[in-house]
Amino acid sequence: MSARRLIGVKCPASLRPLTVRADPGHWYELGAPAVTRLGADHVILMRKDPPFDTEYIYSTYILERAEVAGALVVNRPRGLRDMNEKVYTAWFPECCAPTLVTRDMAAMAAFAAQHGTVVCKPLEGMGGHSIFVVAPGDKNTNVVFETLTNYGQRFAIVQKYLPEIAATGDARVLLIDGEPLPFALARIPSPADNRGNLAAGATAVARPLTERDRWLAAQIGPAMRAAGMLFVGIDVIGGFVTEINVTSPTGVRELLKQTGADAVELLMQAIERRLASR
């Protein structure tokens, strides 16, 4: 049976009411389980932190069945599968600093020799997990390449190190249905760390978007909108995009606290517009 013929078929789902509180010690509460049949009046927010593994892929398959039944899934399951947060930057090379995705350790070494200090990281992580900064002459270089690629058996990413991160941070620009929030959240690494990740101890500083930020958003935003990716975060260091986050972009609460810009409210409005236009 074609997907077109299946549109409107009800898909059973187990649900539980959720109450969320601004209390780190008791921030949510689940109600009693219930079963319903998903349809065009339902919205599913898919928001799960990486690692992006086979269980995540299986979840997107199931969510696609809900989508076929008429539910609006945010972000769209196919986009979640197709847009690896590190690799998808290759679709926008004009926005990025020199980048290499490979499992060839010799190619990684040649890239490092060409560009000097480089950043090396796995493709499936988050929160600064297993990010290495390798400078020329570092005797740990080969160990880093071996560890990240499992001796040439697994892909990893290498990027030219952008020294601007130390002063201006790793800026998160949020895209709501392709349009940027007017403020970015610059995550400034601590003096003891290279990583601009809040989970790694970086400091969050909100700032207005620059003209370069807006240009980058204009290159990437329309593709996100067309693919049904309503909530996306692009990471910008020194005017270059290093990642395109589609699974669980963060920074919303910090931006709201520091600027009053409410990304969640804008996302809910975008969802309502999508529902109304169907």
DSSP 143-160: HHHHHHHTTTTS-EEEEE
Q: Exactly one of 67, 177, 213, 235 is catalytic; which is it?
A: 235
pLDDT in the model for residue 218: 98
Same domain, 172 and 152: no
Same domain, 71 and 108: no
Same domain, 63 and 33: yes
Distance CA 31, CA 82 (A): 34
Same domain, 134 and 106: yes
Same domain, 63 and 140: no
pLDDT in the model for residue 63: 95
On whether residue 26 sits in a domain, the answer given is: yes
On whether residue 156 sits in a domain, the answer given is: yes
Residues 6+ apart with CB under 8 A from 148: 120, 121, 122, 130, 132, 154, 156
Same domain, 143 and 171: no
Same domain, 204 and 272: yes
On whether residue 108 sits in a domain, the answer given is: yes
Domain containing 255 — which CATH number? 3.30.470.20
On whether residue 89 sits in a domain, the answer given is: no
Same domain, 124 and 216: no
pLDDT in the model for residue 213: 98
**Rounded to 5°, angle at Cα 229 from 260 and 126:** 75
Distance CA 95, CA 240 (A): 6
> Is 81 among the catalytic positions?
no
Same domain, 138 and 41: no
Q: Exactly one of 121, 177, 197, 213 is catalytic; which is it?
A: 121
On whether residue 27 sits in a domain, the answer given is: yes
Same domain, 135 and 52: no
Same domain, 182 and 222: yes
> Is 75 among the catalytic positions?
no
Distance CA 228, CA 71 (A): 13
Q: Which of 160, 182, 211 is the last residue of a domain?
A: 160
pLDDT in the model for residue 22: 86
Mean pLDDT for back-to-back runs of 10 residues, the chain (278 residues):
47 90 92 92 91 89 94 96 94 97 97 97 79 94 96 96 94 98 95 78 94 98 97 98 95 96 97 94
pLDDT in the model for residue 179: 98
How many CB atoms sit inside 10 A of residue 224's CB? Answer: 25
pLDDT in the model for residue 2: 40
Q: Exactly one of 86, 146, 154, 207 is catalytic; which is it?
A: 86
Q: Exactly one of 75, 84, 197, 245 is catalytic; which is it?
A: 245
Instruction: Supply 105's token pair.
Output: 């350790």
On whether residue 90 sits in a domain, the answer given is: no
> Is 48 among the catalytic positions?
no
Q: Which of 160, 188, 206 is the last residue of a domain?
A: 160
On whether residue 72 sits in a domain, the answer given is: yes
Same domain, 191 and 232: yes
> Is 254 among the catalytic positions?
no
Domain containing 14 — which CATH number? 3.40.50.20
pLDDT in the model for residue 51: 77
Domain containing 118 — which CATH number? 3.30.1490.20
Domain range for 19: 3-82
> Is 187 among the catalytic positions?
yes
On whether residue 91 sits in a domain, the answer given is: no
Structural domains in the chain (count): 3
pTM of the model: 0.90
> Is 193 among the catalytic positions?
no
Q: Which of 160, 184, 210 is the last residue of a domain?
A: 160
